[in-house]
Amino acid sequence: DIPNLAKEWLEVRLEGLKSEPTYGKSSIAILKELVKTGRMKPEEIEKRLNLSRGHILNCLNLLELYGLVEKDYDGSYKPSELLRKYQEVLGRF
């Protein structure tokens, strides 16, 4: 079996994200919503997950740093290409 390095790299980043004490859990929840919907603006995430805007923005910044989301020109966020390709990995978190 050839190791899938892209998929493994995604797992490592998700593992690191999950262990982030302040924003980890919320970030994973936001990612799951983004994968479900395809793209969302912070205010939509706020309504959907009942988190504060500031908390969401910090999570989104973290997700951007980890390369797990992309910010669009209209201010909405979408899952990175790699995350869209290997959505099943997210299901383990």
CA–CA distances in Å: residue 22 to residues 6, 7, 26, 69? 27, 25, 8, 18
Asked whether 44 and 30 are in contact (CB, 8 A), the reply is no
Distance CA 12, CA 83 (A): 12
Say what the pLDDT of residue 35 is. Answer: 96
Say what the pLDDT of residue 7 is. Answer: 95
Say what the pLDDT of residue 9 is. Answer: 94
Say what the pLDDT of residue 54 is. Answer: 97
CA 83 and chain centroid, separation: 8
Distance CA 42, CA 30 (A): 10
The model's pLDDT over 33-88, given as tens digits with 9 standing for 90+, comes to: 999 999 999 999 999 999 999 999 999 999 999 999 999 999 999 999 999 999 99
- pLDDT category at 26 given cuts 50, 70, 90 is very high
Say what the pLDDT of residue 2 is. Answer: 87
Say what the pLDDT of residue 29 is. Answer: 97
